[in-house]
Amino acid sequence: MKSYLAAALQMNSLPDLQQNLTQAEDLIDLAVRQGAELICLPENFSFLGDEAAKIAQADQIAQSSEKFLKTMAQRYQVTILGGGFPVPNSIGKVYNTALLVGPNGEELARYEKVHLFDVDLPDGNTYQESQTVLAGVNLPPVHPSKEFGNLGLSVCYDVRFPELYRHLSQMGAEVLFVPAAFTAYTGKDHWQVLLQARAIENTCYVLAPAQTGRHNSRRQSHGHALIIDPWGVILADAGDKPGVAIAAIEPSRLEQVRRQMPSLKHRVFA
């Protein structure tokens, strides 16, 4: 693992595939020009809006999203995580799929989100992700990278389930991806503190790209894409507008924190 710059992109994705991909490309270009070698895009980066429209266009969204990620990775010679896009399955629903792609355009890792966002919020909004999304059944993978460290995958609502991240740390994760489209209502109270907790308890870097702003008449995201170090220190915050959070990932910092706070070695219960 070397020292490098990582970027967590912040987008305002809409129910418009091509417009979203254009926005994503502009932000990737911005991140690369600032020196980023590892770039992560938020959940629903290629389409966010009406669920019926998403299902109707799922084949096109899936194909275009995967092609886009591979093209961008090759063009800019970077490693890219596409934090979540719909991939159709045999029962008429989709998997919310995160895809990690290397600079040669090769697929490095894939994860189908296991925790689905089915909640009734106090602000009156109801979300039923399971109406259109089928939960994955496999634990998320950790991709070993000599350059970037061991990279653990997750998506959005997963962040409320610490056992998933303990699995990733047990598998050797050093950097955790948490791409999200966190709601504005829950985000203001829970987004930052949950991410800091996952970083601290697993002594890992956290890269959390995010959605921000309004996506349609009823859905609004919190923003604040974050990069957090293994001590829980916020290294970069993208605020509430589309943009880029960028920060250095330092192996010496990871080693220092794990040496000073060796909690992963002190675990009593598996």
Catalytic residue among 37, 40, 43, 174: 43
Q: Is there a catalytic annotation at residue 113?
A: yes
From the list 113, 12, 98, 13, the residue with the least C-alpha distance to 53 is 13
Residue 15, class by beta-carbon neighbours within 10 Å (0-12 exposed, 13-18 middle, 19+ buried)?
middle
C-alpha closest to that of 159 among 182, 134, 141, 143 = 182
User: Residues 37, 40, 54, 156: which is the catalytic one?
Assistant: 156
Catalytic residue among 70, 113, 174, 204: 113
Is the sign of the CA dihedral 203, 228, 185, 93 positive or negative? negative
Q: Is 43 a catalytic residue?
A: yes
Residue that the structure tokens 């056992």 belong to: 163
DSSP code of residue 153: P
Gap between the Cα atoms of 69 and 245, Å rounded: 19
Q: 192 — phi, psi (to 5°)?
A: -65, -45
204 annotated active-site? no
* Residues designated as active site: 43, 113, 156
